[in-house]
A and B are shown apart, each in its own frame.
Chain A
Amino acid sequence: MSESSKSDKMTRRQALGVVGGLVVGGVVGGAAGYYAGKSSVPVAPTNSTMTANMTALPPAGLQYGQLPAHPNWKFVAICHVTTNPFFVPTQYGIADADALFGTTTQWTGSENSLVSDMVDAFNAAIAAKVDGIFTSLIDPTAFNAPTDAALAAGIPVIGYNADARAGTTVHPACGCGAVTNDRLAYVGQPLYDSGTNLGNMIMKYIPDKTAKIALFIATPGTLNIEPRIDGASDALAAAGYTNVDIVGTDPLLDKEGPLIDAWYLGNKDAKGMFAVDAGDTSWVGDIATKEGLVGTVVTGGFDLLPETLKNIQSGATAFTIDQQPYLQGFVPVQQLYLYKLSGGAMAPCDTNTSLKFVTKDNVAGYTTPSRFEGSTPSQPTF
């Protein structure tokens, strides 16, 4: 490693030390104080301690964030679409958490949403005796056996992005199915709720209950997006909307657009085109622009692909829902790290990565290149 790259790495770690101090400070302050030999009372990092973290190496036996030296714990992240651009910020979140906590996380799974590939990767990770696993649970039952096997082997398992819920048992709190997997926690968006919110937003933009509306979904039936479309269609049906088409497209980004275009060409009386996945959402705006529908057909959906943000700026897309993919990578690593650090005392907990609407009014905050949105690998500078 050259000197220059060394110094780059230090700067990055120092910056992350600040974030780490904020994220971890309250939780592990007591432990940190003990190991630092200073105080056993949890204390949030002050400006002076953060400044010290940014300018000096940690004392012997400590790492940045005032955490004790520990083994290089190895975690495995299993994803259903490993090369999908949506998960770029997730991988940045993982990389940043790894750099901050001194862990290593492997990114694996399936390129095409194949549960069998994911289960095989899961079982291989158990065989490798890794220190923690987090996986998108896109099937209600297929991950149960490996999850139980991992837990029995002492490997903590967290679900992220998609949670294993039964399709038929309605959970009174969220309207979605009951959790069917023994994972310790779920980090991500409450999917059915977010679909309901999409439905409510559609009603605001299109009050006419007889209007033709399309709901596009790339991979029908998969647990990471199906609950959203269920939530949206249930909300619309409950409100009396009678002309809603649910249209399956394709898991590959380049095929989604032509299929959406084809649907529109066969349904030129459409008043709204909405989607429940990142790729389709970017395409509904693109097709609205291509077909000259801006201002006449409302489009919207989920996630923050650069194309979607561009469409919101231009007015081709009315809104999108941000589920903060960066946090879906960062938080599981953080929780697994704390689980290992505390010997299991710090149990992973469910984390809602938000239900936030991005519209023309607030899109400016998203259009600056940002590592947290996946539009640049660069770290922020202050």
Chain B
Amino acid sequence: MRLMRSVKHRNFSFRNLFSHPEVTIALVTGICAVAFASFFPNFATGNSAQVIFTIAGTDAMVGVGETMLLISGELDLSVGTVFALAPFLMNTFYVVGVPIVIAFLMALLLMGVIGFANGYITAKIGVPALITTLGMFFLIRGLTLIVSNFHLITLPNIEPFRSVVGSGVIFETLPIPMVWAVGITIVVALMLQRTRHGLWTVATGSNPTGAGEVGVNTVRTKIYNFMLAAILAGLAGIIQAMRIGSAEPLQGGFDLTLGSIAAAAVGGTSLLGGSGTIIGTLIGSLLFGIFRDGLIIGGASEIVYEMALGIAVVLSVGLNVLLIGRRGRSGRQT
């Protein structure tokens, strides 16, 4: 919305257009997609798009929560294991007789409690988020291994719950994880742009002392964002588990945590807090999905994907930093 307004009030120019990090990453993503499609015709198909959206969907959900935290000046390393725990908890409730929808909500509620613990210990007690959430990462992993008894489990195949929450496809191309991701992105982006919590999140991340002095409850703001990150990670974990039909105790992990931070950074969110974009994170996740799908279709091995991903992260963020420098010189704010 801010983008729409700002474009309206300014004379259109490419310089104005590129003052928004979303546009930069969207351009990079578009170029990558066109390049893959040019080299590999099977990339530009409905099946291929479905793979990209599936990969990007769950990553984007985790990334959106992480982005809100990064904007408020914190980060959460435990999302990777929260992601793995949630489907096990949902299944545990279900097997003792709780209806699946209630079990789903109870699991998310418990993820919120984990997020609250992260937020309270970090924002209220003052333990650095890096330490708090690193500890929580291992705590949750251990808990997941206990709950799962080290075993992969097959989840109940209850329709329409499974289709709505994980395995469905809309218009033969759009998988449910991406529908959830787009919906969450819109809601959280509006929250960031239009609500007091969004304003406080930016203020807390850019200048916590100043924000506190003008009445922003920085502690509560951070706690809410930790809770949001944990709930979204849990939701993504359940969606992924329902999609493939089983839950694994070692799912997610640091790969997912670092991937979500990378998606936020690539999308234009500052790791120093105070600025960021939810839509950029979604596009960043799409870029990763395009790379993974495109390289497999192109015949590259798993190792090449990781190298390509590393290069993409550095180049995308580098391009954004370069453009931010130019924006700075021309007196514009991101």
Interface residues of A (CB under 8 A from B): 74, 76, 82-83, 104, 106-116, 119-121, 123-129, 139-142, 144-145, 217, 219-222, 226, 248, 251
| Given contact pairs A124-B293, A127-B42, A129-B42, A83 touches B303 in the complex (Cβ within 8 A) | yes
Q: Which of A112, A113, A124 contacts B296 (CB 8 A)?
A: A124
Q: Judging by beta carbons under 8 Å apart, are B297 and A127 in contact?
A: yes
Please report the C-alpha to C-alpha distance between residue A123 and residue B50 in the assembled complex, in whole angstroms. Answer: 9
For residue A353, give the distance in angstroms from its CB to the closest CB of chain B.
23
Residue B55 is within 8 A (CB to CB) of chain A in the complex = yes
Residue of A whose beta carbon sits closest to that of B49: A127
Q: Judging by beta carbons under 8 Å apart, are B302 and A82 in contact?
A: yes
Residue of B whose beta carbon sits closest to that of A77: B301
Q: Judging by beta carbons under 8 Å apart, are A140 and B150 in contact?
A: no
Residue B240 is within 8 A (CB to CB) of chain A in the complex = yes
Stretch at the interface among B112-120, B250-258, B276-284, B312-320: B250-258
Q: Judging by beta carbons under 8 Å apart, are B240 and A126 in contact?
A: no
Residue B38 is within 8 A (CB to CB) of chain A in the complex = no
Question: A-facing mask of B295-309, CB < 8 A → 1, else 0?
Answer: 011011111010000
Q: Judging by beta carbons under 8 Å apart, are B152 and A127 in contact?
A: no
For residue A77, give the distance in angstroms from its CB to the closest CB of chain B.
10
For residue B229, give the distance in angstroms from its CB to the closest CB of chain A.
20
Residue B54 is within 8 A (CB to CB) of chain A in the complex = yes
Q: Which of A83, A115, A125, A128 contacts B244 (CB 8 A)?
A: A115
Quick one: which of B25-73 are within 8 Å of A by CB?
40, 42-43, 45, 47-48, 50-51, 54-55, 58
Which chain A positions have C-beta within 8 A of B209?
none
Q: Judging by beta carbons under 8 Å apart, are A123 and B245 in contact?
A: no
Residue of A whose beta carbon sits closest to that of B300: A106
Please report the C-alpha to C-alpha distance between residue A126 and residue B250 in the assembled complex, in whole angstroms. Answer: 26
Please report the C-alpha to C-alpha distance between residue A121 and residue B302 in the assembled complex, in whole angstroms. Answer: 9
Q: Which of A106, A109, A123 contacts B51 (CB 8 A)?
A: A123
Residue B222 is within 8 A (CB to CB) of chain A in the complex = no
Q: Which of A112, A126, A140 contacts B47 (CB 8 A)?
A: A126
Q: 19 new A-B pairs (CB below 8 Å) besides A107-B302, A115-B152?
A: A76-B296, A83-B302, A107-B301, A108-B305, A112-B253, A112-B255, A115-B246, A116-B58, A124-B297, A127-B297, A128-B40, A139-B244, A139-B245, A139-B246, A141-B246, A142-B244, A221-B152, A221-B249, A222-B152
**Nearest 7 pairs between A and B by C-beta?**
A220-B150, A221-B151, A127-B47, A221-B152, A124-B296, A128-B297, A127-B48
Q: Judging by beta carbons under 8 Å apart, are B300 and A116 in contact?
A: no
Interface residues of B (CB under 8 A from A): 40, 42-43, 45, 47-48, 50-51, 54-55, 58, 145, 148-154, 167, 240, 243-246, 248-251, 253, 255, 292-293, 296-297, 299-303, 305
Q: Judging by beta carbons under 8 Å apart, are B301 and A106 in contact?
A: yes
Q: Judging by beta carbons under 8 Å apart, are A114 and B48 in contact?
A: no
For residue B175, give the distance in angstroms from its CB to the closest CB of chain A.
10
Which chain A positions have C-beta within 8 A of B303?
82-83
Which chain B positions have C-beta within 8 A of A144?
245
Which chain A positions have C-beta within 8 A of B167?
145
Which chain A positions have C-beta within 8 A of B299?
74, 104, 106, 128
Which chain A positions have C-beta within 8 A of B43?
127
Q: Judging by beta carbons under 8 Å apart, are B251 and A116 in contact?
A: yes
Please report the C-alpha to C-alpha distance between residue A60 and residue B151 in the assembled complex, in whole angstroms. Answer: 55
Which chain A positions have C-beta within 8 A of B153?
221
Please report the C-alpha to C-alpha distance between residue A56 and residue B151 in the assembled complex, in whole angstroms. Answer: 55
Please report the C-alpha to C-alpha distance between residue A113 and residue B305 in the assembled complex, in whole angstroms. Answer: 17
Which chain B positions have C-beta within 8 A of A109?
302
- Among the interface residues A83, A107, A127, A220, which one has the most CB atoms of the partner chain B within 10 A? A127
For residue A161, give the distance in angstroms from its CB to the closest CB of chain B.
16
Which chain A positions have C-beta within 8 A of B151?
220-221, 226
Which chain B positions have C-beta within 8 A of A251?
250
Which chain A positions have C-beta within 8 A of B51?
120, 123-124, 127
For residue B293, give the distance in angstroms from its CB to the closest CB of chain A.
5
Which chain B positions have C-beta within 8 A of A226?
151
Which chain A positions have C-beta within 8 A of B54?
120, 123
For residue A323, give the distance in angstroms from its CB to the closest CB of chain B.
21
Question: Could you show 9 A-B contacts with beta carbons less than 8 Å apart?
Answer: A104-B299, A107-B301, A108-B296, A110-B302, A113-B248, A115-B248, A120-B51, A124-B292, A226-B151
Q: Judging by beta carbons under 8 Å apart, are A141 and B245 in contact?
A: yes
Residue of A whose beta carbon sits closest to that of B248: A115
Which chain A positions have C-beta within 8 A of B301?
82, 106-108
Q: Judging by beta carbons under 8 Å apart, are A120 and B250 in contact?
A: no
Which chain A positions have C-beta within 8 A of B243?
116
For residue B316, give the distance in angstroms from its CB to the closest CB of chain A.
21
For residue B234, give the distance in angstroms from its CB to the closest CB of chain A.
16
Q: Judging by beta carbons under 8 Å apart, are B47 and A114 in contact?
A: no
Which chain B positions have C-beta within 8 A of A145?
167
Q: Judging by beta carbons under 8 Å apart, are B248 and A111 in contact?
A: no
For residue B62, give the distance in angstroms from its CB to the closest CB of chain A.
13
Q: Judging by beta carbons under 8 Å apart, are A142 and B47 in contact?
A: no
Which chain B positions have C-beta within 8 A of A124?
48, 51, 292-293, 296-297
Residue of B whose beta carbon sits closest to that of A166: B154
For residue A246, give the distance in angstroms from its CB to the closest CB of chain B.
9
Which chain A positions have C-beta within 8 A of B45?
127
Q: Which of A106, A128, A129, A219 contacts B250 (CB 8 A)?
A: A219
For residue A326, give the distance in angstroms from its CB to the closest CB of chain B.
19
Please report the C-alpha to C-alpha distance between residue A208 and residue B299 in the assembled complex, in whole angstroms. Answer: 54
Q: Judging by beta carbons under 8 Å apart, are B250 and A113 in contact?
A: yes
For residue B91, give the distance in angstroms from its CB to the closest CB of chain A.
13
- Among the interface residues B148, B255, B300, B302, which one has the most CB atoms of the partner chain A within 10 A? B302
Which chain B positions have C-beta within 8 A of A139?
152, 244-246, 248
Q: Which of B47, B240, B302 contacts A116 (CB 8 A)?
A: B240
Please report the C-alpha to C-alpha distance between residue A123 and residue B51 in the assembled complex, in whole angstroms. Answer: 6
Please report the C-alpha to C-alpha distance between residue A106 and residue B153 in the assembled complex, in whole angstroms. Answer: 29
Which chain B positions have C-beta within 8 A of A127?
42-43, 45, 47-48, 50-51, 293, 297
Q: Judging by beta carbons under 8 Å apart, are B248 and A120 in contact?
A: no
